[in-house]
């Protein structure tokens, strides 16, 4: 018991008793979070709470309060400066529901994976719960849920445009994006006695106002009422928001809510410097979940990141189904080698460290510098992408820094192997004339399988996804195989594919199924497109147009059609037979029903022999690889 008390004292207080044991009568901020309390820099609340602590603020943590009881947010009483609210590391609706809107059985960010410890739309629920208890206390929403719902947004689960969570959550401010700069500025303003209603000047925030200030350059978005009436108004609004996600070029945006006034979004906060990143990751994290969860089975999500290193933030990849542009931004922010080596040394001291660093990366593992020289002074191009449809002529293509970092990490005493699992951008690798990184990747940094995300094979669908043409993926496969042959290893690319993305007709879905057939194995998991807030693809899904071009896009919305497209990717499963047949008939591809080797379906229902992806996990000495089997059957090259 004494040991548990001592361990708990090393964390920020989670009870009134722990607060008073520190000699505090009150805290400056109460941080209400939808996840369990894990004091590790992979969890946003840990970073922000430790950052506030390092600047002299007293912070209390209320993790996963009982939202049915107002007393659950009264543990510390009313804080001196205000409440911070985060739904957690994931949007609570994505956390709770599959793309088919079925309730998930596990919450990986809760003790023991238990579901039901946070509400749907947690940021809104927590905000209102706090407001009922403390009518005048400042409430600042943050985290990915609030960040991506900061203005009016399409909500897939209700199939409608919802208001900003600032209004629905009875809050005063939203700190969007990663939040370090904006939160410190908000805290300083409140400490100096500035009323929360006057904290309207902080980059990376959204606030409410009755009237727009004259003399300021403000871009007015379509009103909330017009968004409800016309999907095209939403497409235009989204395009304006997308073009103002850059901290250097971004304008102040305003969204009218009639008699309720306006919501005003300030431009994003400036990116963190390398020194600031290093300082943040050097804060005194305990690097583990709070001991109160040990008897409950721990926190499953923590085990996934415990022995991984976050080397960067931001992504200039530009995938349309990804919300990173609206949250972390397109400008790369990186840690120094020294910072990462120091953290790697700390990992080796953990009693359960086995010598393997599971990942070194970020949103895209092999991005380690801004895409071009002007980004850190002038920002990103508002109407151009760095890699698609073709690489920009100003794109800096180099893996040199990442190679040096990986080499240094492999040399850390106690480290046996360093893996890369957070995703390699294959088109960036393919465009690099220096193939050293690909050589090192094949030789040192994967364990048999490299997972990449081509997503589709139809160039039409790939264009809607913001991905390069399929020829680039084929080039990468050839180069990867060449490096495997050179180092005499049998390693394979396992691709991620997505069904039912906007732009995918039944014909495109069948084309992807044919590619799966030619690969020689069936993917065990298929991602059906999930319309999550604040992505270009979600805007397409709702409006039927590409918001950046206003061109019409085919959108598979009907749940049955989506089920067919998904089933086509796993056409060998007996339970998918009826759906696959229907899809082939709808696409007028009866030629794929028959006994020929190229057919996807047998007329009599006989099963066609094919390996699944899991078969590839068998010891290589006990099986022929699927790639080689496929090569012998088809006479084609190995992938």
Specify if 120 maps to a domain: yes
d(CA 53, CA 338): 24
Q: What is the mean pLDDT of residues 137-160?
A: 97
Residue 378 pLDDT class (50, 70, 90 cuts): confident
Specify if 348 maps to a domain: yes
Burial (Cβ within 10 Å: 0-12, 13-18, ≥19) of residue 605: exposed
d(CA 582, CA 460): 23
Specify if 286 maps to a domain: no
pLDDT over 90 (residue 587):
yes
Regarding predicted confidence, which is higher, 389 or 619? Answer: 389
pLDDT over 80 (residue 457):
yes
Rounded percentage of the chain residues whose pLDDT exceeds 70: 93
CATH of the domain at 465: 3.30.750.200
Contacts of 440 (CB under 8 A, 6+ apart): 403, 406, 407
Same domain, 477 and 613: yes
Q: Where are the alpha helices (DSSP H) in 392-547?
A: 400-410, 426-431, 436-444, 459-465, 470-486, 506-519, 536-543
Range of the domain at 24: 2-202
Of 213, 189, 188, 211, the C-alpha closest to 199 is: 189
Regarding predicted confidence, which is higher, 423 or 75? Answer: 75
Residue 540 has what pLDDT? 98
Contacts of 634 (CB under 8 A, 6+ apart): 518, 520
Residue 607 has what pLDDT? 56
- Looking at 447, 467, 482, the residue that finishes a domain is 447
Same domain, 438 and 452: no
Q: What is the mean pLDDT of residues 595-604?
A: 90
CATH of the domain at 418: 3.30.750.210
Same domain, 490 and 615: yes
pLDDT in tens, 321-343: 999 999 999 999 999 999 999 99
Q: What is the mean pLDDT of residues 303-327?
A: 93
- Looking at 150, 180, 202, the residue that finishes a domain is 202
Residue 181 and residue 128 in contact, taking contact as beta carbons nearer than 8 Å: no
Residue 9 pLDDT class (50, 70, 90 cuts): low
pLDDT in tens, 92-133: 999 999 999 999 999 999 999 999 999 999 999 999 999 999
Residue 373 has what pLDDT? 87
Specify if 271 maps to a domain: no
pLDDT in tens, 272-305: 999 999 999 999 999 999 999 999 999 999 998 9
Count other C-beta atoms under 10 Å from residue 95's C-beta: 23
Q: What is the mean pLDDT of residues 426-455?
A: 93
Specify if 126 maps to a domain: yes
Count other C-beta atoms under 10 Å from residue 102's C-beta: 9
pLDDT in tens, 32-49: 999 999 999 999 999 999
d(CA 130, CA 126): 6
d(CA 639, CA 452): 13
pLDDT over 90 (residue 474):
yes
Total number of domains constituting the chain: 3
Same domain, 316 and 463: no
Residue 8 has what pLDDT? 56
Residue 214 pLDDT class (50, 70, 90 cuts): confident
Residue 222 has what pLDDT? 97
- Looking at 202, 222, 254, the residue that finishes a domain is 202
Same domain, 457 and 442: no
- Length reported for the chain: 639
Specify if 236 maps to a domain: no
Residue 210 pLDDT class (50, 70, 90 cuts): very high
Residue 616 has what pLDDT? 41
Residue 377 has what pLDDT? 85
Same domain, 457 and 498: yes
Residue 608 has what pLDDT? 54
Same domain, 601 and 526: yes
The position carrying tokens 């061109």 is 551
Residue 639 has what pLDDT? 26
Contacts of 135 (CB under 8 A, 6+ apart): none
Residue 524 has what pLDDT? 76
List the structure tokens of 140: 């600042």
Residue 6 has what pLDDT? 54
Rounded percentage of the chain residues whose pLDDT exceeds 90: 85
Enter the DSSP assignment of 206.
Answer: E
Mean of the per-residue pLDDT values of the chain: 91
Q: Which residues pair with 497 in a beta bridge?
A: 455
Same domain, 428 and 518: no
d(CA 214, CA 302): 48
List the structure tokens of 226: 């017009």
Same domain, 496 and 564: yes
Same domain, 90 and 167: yes
CATH of the domain at 35: 3.40.50.2300
Specify if 300 maps to a domain: no
The position carrying tokens 């403000």 is 218
Average the pLDDT over each of 32-36, 184-188, 379-383, 452-456 and give the range with the smallest value: 379-383
Regarding predicted confidence, which is higher, 379 or 264? Answer: 264
Specify if 244 maps to a domain: no
Q: What is the mean pLDDT of residues 348-362?
A: 95
Same domain, 536 and 591: yes
pLDDT in tens, 82-95: 999 999 999 999 99
Regarding predicted confidence, which is higher, 378 or 151? Answer: 151
Residue 42 and residue 308 in contact, taking contact as beta carbons nearer than 8 Å: yes
Same domain, 405 and 456: no
Dihedral sign (CA 372, 373, 379, 384): negative
Of 558, 565, 529, the C-alpha closest to 99 is: 529
Residue 460 pLDDT class (50, 70, 90 cuts): very high
Average the pLDDT over each of 246-250, 566-570, 613-617 and give the range with the smallest value: 613-617
């Amino acid at each position: 018991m004494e040991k548990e008390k001592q361990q708990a004292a090393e964390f920020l207080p989670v009870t009134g008793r722990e607060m008073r044991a520190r000699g505090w009568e009150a805290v400056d901020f109460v941080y209400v979070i939808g996840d369990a309390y894990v004091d590790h820099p992979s969890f946003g609340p840990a970073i922000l709470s430790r950052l506030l602590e390092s600047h002299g603020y007293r912070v209390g943590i209320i993790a996963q309060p009982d939202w049915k009881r107002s007393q659950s947010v009264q543990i510390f009483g009313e804080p001196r400066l205000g409440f911070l609210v985060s739904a957690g590391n994931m949007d609570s609706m994505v956390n709770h529901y599959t793309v088919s809107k079925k309730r998930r059985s596990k919450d990986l960010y809760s003790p023991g994976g238990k579901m039901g410890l946070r509400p749907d739309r947690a940021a809104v629920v927590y905000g209102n719960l706090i407001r009922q208890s403390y009518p005048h206390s400042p409430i600042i929403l943050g985290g990915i849920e609030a960040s991506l719902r900061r203005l009016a947004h399409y909500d897939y689960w209700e199939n409608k445009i919802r208001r900003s969570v600032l209004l629905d959550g009875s809050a005063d401010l939203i700190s969007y994006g990663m939040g370090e700069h904006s939160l410190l500025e908000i805290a300083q303003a409140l400490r100096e006695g500035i009323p929360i209603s006057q904290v309207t000047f902080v980059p990376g925030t959204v606030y409410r106002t009755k009237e727009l200030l004259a003399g300021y350059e403000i871009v007015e978005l379509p009103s909330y009422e017009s968004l409800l009436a016309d999907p095209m108004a939403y497409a235009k609004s989204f395009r304006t928001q997308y073009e103002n996600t850059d901290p250097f070029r971004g304008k102040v945006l305003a969204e009218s809510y009639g008699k309720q006034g306006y919501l005003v979004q300030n431009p994003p906060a400036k990116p963190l410097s390398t020194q600031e990143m290093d300082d943040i990751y050097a804060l005194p994290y305990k690097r583990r979940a709070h001991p109160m969860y040990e008897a409950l089975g721990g926190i499953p999500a923590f085990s996934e990141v415990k022995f991984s290193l976050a080397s960067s933030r931001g992504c200039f990849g530009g995938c349309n189904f990804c919300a990173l542009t609206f949250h972390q931004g397109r400008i790369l922010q990186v840690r120094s080698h020294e910072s990462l080596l120091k953290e790697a040394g700390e990992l080796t001291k953990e009693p359960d460290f086995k010598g393997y660093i599971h990942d070194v990366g970020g949103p895209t593992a092999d991005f380690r510098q801004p895409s071009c020289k002007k980004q850190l002074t002038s920002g990103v191009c508002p109407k151009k992408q760095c890699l698609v449809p073709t690489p920009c002529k100003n794109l800096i293509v180099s893996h040199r820094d990442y190679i040096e970092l990986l080499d240094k990490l492999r040399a850390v005493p106690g480290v046996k192997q360093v893996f890369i699992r957070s995703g390699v951008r294959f088109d960036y690798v393919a465009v690099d004339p220096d193939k050293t990184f690909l050589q090192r990747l094949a030789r040192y940094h994967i364990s048999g399988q490299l997972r990449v995300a081509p997503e589709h094979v139809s160039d039409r669908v790939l264009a809607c996804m913001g991905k390069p043409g399929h020829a680039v993926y084929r080039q990468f496969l050839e180069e990867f195989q060449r490096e495997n042959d050179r180092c005499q290893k049998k390693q394979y690319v396992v691709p991620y594919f997505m069904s039912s993305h906007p732009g995918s007709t039944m014909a495109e879905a069948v084309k992807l199924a044919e590619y799966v057939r030619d690969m020689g194995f069936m993917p065990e998991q298929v991602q059906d497109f999930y319309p999550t807030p604040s992505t270009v693809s979600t805007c397409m899904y709702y409006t039927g147009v590409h918001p950046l071009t206003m061109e019409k896009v085919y959108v598979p919305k009907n749940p049955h059609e989506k089920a067919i497209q998904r089933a086509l990717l796993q056409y060998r499963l007996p339970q998918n037979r009826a759906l696959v047949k229907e899809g082939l008939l709808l696409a007028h591809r009866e030629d794929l029903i028959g006994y020929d080797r190229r057919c996807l379906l047998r007329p009599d229902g006989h099963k066609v022999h094919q390996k699944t992806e899991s078969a590839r996990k068998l010891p290589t000495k006990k099986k022929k690889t699927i790639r080689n089997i496929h090569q012998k059957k088809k006479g084609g090259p190995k992938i």
